[in-house]
């Protein structure tokens, strides 16, 4: 295999991973929008768009996307119940995204099996703390692109 072929396969895999990330961000924004509208949080579309943008930052981004809706709920109702509803919504979105959406989208777009999308980031997170979580998804996309190319030959 020539270097040009390696660059093409790797580039294609990383492009597919980026498309999967974009689709995941859009799905998370839709979940935020629906949940915040149900709760009645002001500026729900703004918070959903912000959550989609911040979703790209692993681990820290979703938490940063939580701050605005919690403060908006607190300022609107000035009680503890509505910010708690936003925190519950956040927990549901994180679980659904981490265990269903991301693995499904990675399998569909980047051809990474769901089990690998769930287990490999956890394993790499233990082996290489913090960085393992960051590099696992694009690394999986590249590995499975090479595996698919090898099977096609």
pLDDT of residue 58: 80
The string of DSSP letters for 54-69 reads HTTSTTHHHHHHHHHH
CB atoms within 10 A of CB 87: 14
Nearest to 9 by CA among 129, 120, 111, 122: 111
Provide the whole-model pTM.
Answer: 0.91
pLDDT tens per residue across all 153 residues of the chain: 899 999 999 999 999 999 999 999 999 999 999 999 999 999 999 999 999 999 988 878 999 999 999 999 999 999 999 999 999 999 999 999 999 999 999 999 999 999 999 999 999 999 999 899 889 999 999 999 999 999 988
Long-range contacts (CB closer than 8 Å, 24 or more residues apart) made by 6-13: 9/142, 9/145, 9/146, 9/149, 10/142, 10/145, 12/145, 13/110, 13/138, 13/141, 13/142, 13/144, 13/145, 13/146
pLDDT of residue 10: 97
Nearest to 23 by CA among 105, 96, 93: 105
Q: Where do the domains of the chain lie? A: 3-152
């Amino acid at each position: 295999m020539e270097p040009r072929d390696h660059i093409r396969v790797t580039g294609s895999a990383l492009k597919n991973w980026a498309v999967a990330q974009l689709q995941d961000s859009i799905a998370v924004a839709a979940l935020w929008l629906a949940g915040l509208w149900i709760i009645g949080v002001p500026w729900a579309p703004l918070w959903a768009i912000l959550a989609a943008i911040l979703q790209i930052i692993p681990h820290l981004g979703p938490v940063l996307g939580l701050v605005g809706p919690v403060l908006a709920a607190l300022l609107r109702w000035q009680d503890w119940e509505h910010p708690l509803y936003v925190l519950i919504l956040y927990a549901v979105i994180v679980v659904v995204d981490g265990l269903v959406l991301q693995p499904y989208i990675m399998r569909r777009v980047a051809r990474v099996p769901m089990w690998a999308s769930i287990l490999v980031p956890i394993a790499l997170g233990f082996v290489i703390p913090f960085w393992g979580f960051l590099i696992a998804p694009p690394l999986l996309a590249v590995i499975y692109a090479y595996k698919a190319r090898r099977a096609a030959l």
